[in-house]
Amino acid sequence: MSYGTKNATTPGCGFHHISIHTQKFDEAMHLYRDILGMQVRIQFDRGTRRFALLDMGDGSFVELSMDTASNETLSPGNPLAHFALATTDVRGVIEKLRAAGIPITMEPKDIQLGLLPASVAFFTGPSGESVELFQEN
């Protein structure tokens, strides 16, 4: 296996983030930021949801989110919401996935995450996993 090679099918591909829904935002921040030493890249609120994107040290992130208006959770013991792959061409990759018959769950969308402009899209993998494509703009 060769490391550091370019992916010609998914431009700019790499691991971007793991998203964790938490009911204990402050405790999660304490763990990932204070104990594990991850640096806060951005922190913001969108509607009733709080977010923090914490840099793991290699340019990939842990995304924490919490709905402040509910006791929302995923299945017990499974707070993993999705994982995100970085790309420099969200729209092109989505078209390749669509052509291959992969279910697209959210079409490409331009968003603003605090001060970070991005384009995102979601699809479902063969085991039911939710995968986000994330492009910093």
Domains of the chain (ranges, CATH numbers): 14-136 (3.10.180.10)
Residues 14-64 pLDDT 10s: 889 998 888 888 988 988 899 878 899 999 998 999 999 999 888 899 888
Alpha-carbon torsion 131, 87, 118, 27, what sign? positive
How many whole angstroms separate alpha carbon 96 and alpha carbon 102?
Answer: 9
Residues 76-85 pLDDT 10s: 556 777 888 8
Q: How far is residue 10 from each of residues 90, 92, 94, measured CA to CA in Å?
A: 9, 8, 10
Q: What is the mean pLDDT of the chain?
A: 85
pTM value?
0.69
Query: What pLDDT is stored for residue 27 in this prediction?
Result: 86
